[in-house]
Amino acid sequence: KSPMMAEQSAPCRGAATADASDTRPRSTSLWSESLQEPTRYNVLAAEPCEGLAQRLQDADPLRFAFRKTVWSKFGDSGMDNIELGGFTPTNRIRKSNVLFLASFHSNDSIMSQFQALVCLCESFVESLTILLPYYPVGTMERVMKEGVVATANTVAVMLSSLPPTGRPLRIMIYDIHTLQNRFYFSGHALADTVTTVPLLLRYINAYTVSPTSEADAVRNPECAIDTIAFPDEGAMKRFGNFFPGFPQIICGKIRAGAKRIVKIHEGDAKGKRILIVDDMVRSGGTICEAAKVMKAAGGKSVTAFCAHAAGRLEDMQKFLRGNPKSGIFDEFIVTTTNPTITAQLPKDDVFVILDILPQLIADLGR
């Protein structure tokens, strides 16, 4: 069996999980010289990301070892009482590559995780990669008057101020709101702006009729996406280059008194099966209005994709089928970058939830 085949096969019963602190020399065969061995990680996680951490280990236990952390508070003060995994009874963290799965879903959780990250940086790790799948402050990247805090910048400054570990911190953020957000990170903390679009492309290119085997699969032309749309020019600039070969529709907002009206600026919706693409959905007002405009212009069907389900649960539920005002989408596709919301979304309705796990494994290997 070749090294590549062995790497993809499941481990035997009782196989040990990865020990990322193990520095024993590896084979120097022709295969190992031509194929670089994947980095092995000790994985620590914020509570909402523990499921992802466990699934990483299950997917490749020779590469990922999940070290569970105890996140608690002192009863008398309410302050953090955190015990990081991997330190006892044997310190597996020292001189290892550490992957920390972060979830900045609240101010309190951010502070707790910063305390954990400082401790990791001061633990003589070989490298530290921070996965922050969704950067919730990314939309607050500019201000219109003095005194307003641009939290996209301040949180980036906090991450950039973590103690140095010897090599730059890799901060992986999926579909950051604007690409210029990456320049708020500085010093030894570098933003790696990865994207969930490959997950989307695999989904929309997948067979739409469930076959008994891949050889028997056929595409259902009634369900195929044939046009990509953007609710505003910002979304087009952010994602337009990911969809070569697709006709595109670009919408925009115009003011009509106190109201903002969405209109099609470029492209033709008539008879098209349209996929609206944006980085996140919160209240959903703009993406709903864009869908209505495309339906009114003769669009045959409208599906939405937003990488981040960033709204409150009640905001997301209004997209459910049967809602006369906003239940107008054939499908509403999101990813698991914000598990505090996607874990609560109703099943067997309009929502399609794409798991970031396979994309994360691929991106960690880049």
**What is residue 13's DSSP assignment?**
T
pLDDT digits (tens, 9 = 90+) for 211-233: 444 444 444 555 689 999 999 99
**Residues belonging to the chain:** 366
- How high is the mean pLDDT of the chain? 85
Q: For residue 253, what pLDDT band results from cuts at 50, 70 and 90? A: confident
Q: For residue 22, what pLDDT band results from cuts at 50, 70 and 90? A: low
% residues pLDDT > 90 (the chain): 64
The first and second tokens of residue 36, run together, are 């670089």
- 314 or 57: which carries more pLDDT confidence? 57
What's the pLDDT score for residue 19?
A: 58
- Residue reference for tokens 């520095």: 23
**Cβ of 234: how many Cβ atoms within 10 Å?**
14
The first and second tokens of residue 29, run together, are 């065969």
What's the pLDDT score for residue 284?
A: 86
> Amino acid identity, residue 273?
R
- 245 or 366: which carries more pLDDT confidence? 245
Q: For residue 21, what pLDDT band results from cuts at 50, 70 and 90? A: low
Which one, of 116, 111, 106, 126, lies nearest residue 169 by Cα?
126
Strands, E, within 153-294: which ranges?
169-174, 189-194, 227-230, 248-256, 259-266, 273-281
Q: For residue 6, what pLDDT band results from cuts at 50, 70 and 90? A: very low
d(C-alpha 143, C-alpha 158), whole Å: 19
The 3-state secondary structure of 256-321 reads ECCEEEEEEEECCCCCCEEEEEEEEECCCHHHHHHHHHHHHCCCCEEEEEEEEECCCHHHHHCCCC
Range with lowest mean pLDDT among 81-85, 99-103, 325-329: 325-329
Q: Is the pLDDT of residue 268 over 90?
A: yes
Torsion-angle region of 23 (φ positive above 0: left; ψ -120 to 50: alpha; else: beta): alpha
Q: Is the pLDDT of residue 29 over 50?
A: no
pLDDT digits (tens, 9 = 90+) for 117-168: 999 999 999 999 999 999 999 888 888 899 999 999 999 999 999 999 988 9
Whole-structure pTM value: 0.84
d(C-alpha 22, C-alpha 95), whole Å: 9
What's the pLDDT score for residue 257?
A: 66
Which one, of 25, 98, 102, 8, lies nearest residue 62 by Cα?
8
> Amino acid identity, residue 278?
D
**Cβ of 75: how many Cβ atoms within 10 Å?**
7
What's the pLDDT score for residue 41?
A: 97
